[in-house]
Amino acid sequence: RRDAVGRTLERLVFRELFEFHFMQTDPNFANYLIEPETDRIALLDLGSARAFDPEFCERYARIVRATLTGDRRALRAAAVAIGYLDENEREDRARGVEDLILLICEPLRHAGVYDFGRSRIPSRTRDLGFDLAFRKGFLRPPPPETVFLHRKLVGSFLLCARIRARVDVNALIGPVKDRVKAATGRELAVRGGARLALSMQPRLVLTDVALANAPWGTAKDMVTAERLELALALLPLLSRRFELT
d(CA 146, CA 78): 14
CB 196 within 8 A of CB 19: no
Cα–Cα distance, 132 to 129 (Å, whole number): 5
Residue of 26, 39, 127, 208 marked catalytic: 26
Contact 60, 75 (CB under 8 A): no
Strand, helix or coil for residue 70: coil
Distance CA 132, CA 78 (A): 19
DSSP 41-61: EEE---TTEEE--HHHHHHHH
Helix (H) or strand (E) holding 94: helix 91-104
Query: Bridge partners of 210?
Result: 189, 224
**Rounded to an integer, what distance in angstroms lies between the CA atom of residue 43 and that of residue 30?**
9
Neighbour count for residue 241 (Cβ, 10 Å): 10
26 is catalytic: yes
Phi/psi for 33 (5° steps) reads: -125, 120
Catalytic residues, by residue number, are 26
